Amino acid sequence: MPNARLPDIKLERVTSSEMDFTLLNAETSIANALRRVMIAEVPTMAIDLVNMEVNTSPLFDEFVAHRLGLIPLSSHEVDQFNNTRDCDRCTDHCPYCSIEYVLDVSCDSEDFLDVMSKDLINVYEKERPECASVKPVDNSGESEAHARMNQASKSDGGQRPPEGIVITKLRRGQRIKCTCIAKKGTGKEHAKWSAASTVRFRTDPSIRFRLDKINDTLTKDEKIDLEKYSEGMLVYNLTADALEYEECFQERRFAISTDTIKKAGDLTGLHGVHPHEIMVYNDNPTVFNFKCETTGVLTAKELFFKAIEVLMNKLNSIQGYLDVELEELRDRNNNTYGMY
């Protein structure tokens, strides 16, 4: 395919939980497939079953179970675990397809006590090294936002934000005890398995003005009038007697307001110029600016590479089915010709 595009990626910013990058020379379908896979098809670990034994907390059992399921669990070794339904080592759950946690917290001496995600005890921690890596994600300064928050708290003499996630609160005499089973899954099964908190992309502006045509058509006063309607997108250069794009638009401002488009059409229409003559439509964008942020279960880099791996596996699967179909078609054709 001599005209096939060769996609390229340009990294803008990478942290442990965030990544900004630009996908170049790609189709919209490819960009959207990457976004959807990052959100819904990258496997992670999350609590799926909760066996409640004692619960005298203010929250009823189902509420606590729901909160436990939404606790993000580190999934850097998720590929080392089997899907529970496909595990050939057990009939229910085992260290090769799941993680078992025990939560047992009582409020005996204090007036109240916070039950935190760090109170979850990993039963399989000593069974396999991979099991020990699956633990609740906390806010111990892994992200830039938490680092700034902690620094601000120290500077004003305040207390540092608590590490971990609050599951429930107990008063004196209350207790919660349960067993939790974390399993492997994907975001398309339930949002608790999604490693991405947000993945979005923006394209080049779908509409751009032909400023050369506009500058040749409008008078000085009309250009100044259009500048006022452009909401900072256009700047009138007095020396050149021409409208120019403002710097923020050049630096990826992605939309022109409808009021600006209407005003430009009205002004050029007074001179007999059709609105289509002053606009350029980008029906087939090739540049996509991505911004993704993870929940902390995977780094942004891991999320990206695992999404690429999932896409490649899908394509390889299609190729495998296609090869089988072509082989069967050749066999049928050979048998048909052989009859004559």
Give the C-alpha separation, 65 to 48, whole Å: 9
* pLDDT average, residue stretch 187-203: 94
Which strand (E) or helix (H) includes residue 268? helix 258-269
Average pLDDT, the chain: 87
| Contacts of 226 by beta carbon, 8 Å cutoff, 6+ apart | 214, 218, 234, 243, 260, 263, 264, 267
Residues 111-166: tens digit of each pLDDT: 899 999 999 999 999 989 999 999 999 764 444 544 554 555 455 554 445 568 99
Nearest to 45 by CA among 113, 95, 5: 95
Give the C-alpha separation, 219 to 242, whole Å: 10
What pLDDT, on the 0 to 100 scale, is given for residue 339?
Answer: 53
| Three-state DSSP state, 32 | helix
> Which structure tokens are listed for 261?
């488009």
Lowest mean pLDDT among 46-55, 159-168, 247-256, 285-294: 247-256
Give the C-alpha separation, 40 to 191, whole Å: 8
Give the C-alpha separation, 298 to 306, whole Å: 10
Percent of the chain with pLDDT over 70: 87
Higher pLDDT, 253 or 172: 172
Which strand (E) or helix (H) includes residue 266? helix 258-269
The DSSP secondary structure of 167-182, one letter per residue, reads: EEEEETT-EEEEEEEE
What is the band of 259 on the pLDDT scale with cuts at 50, 70, 90?
A: confident
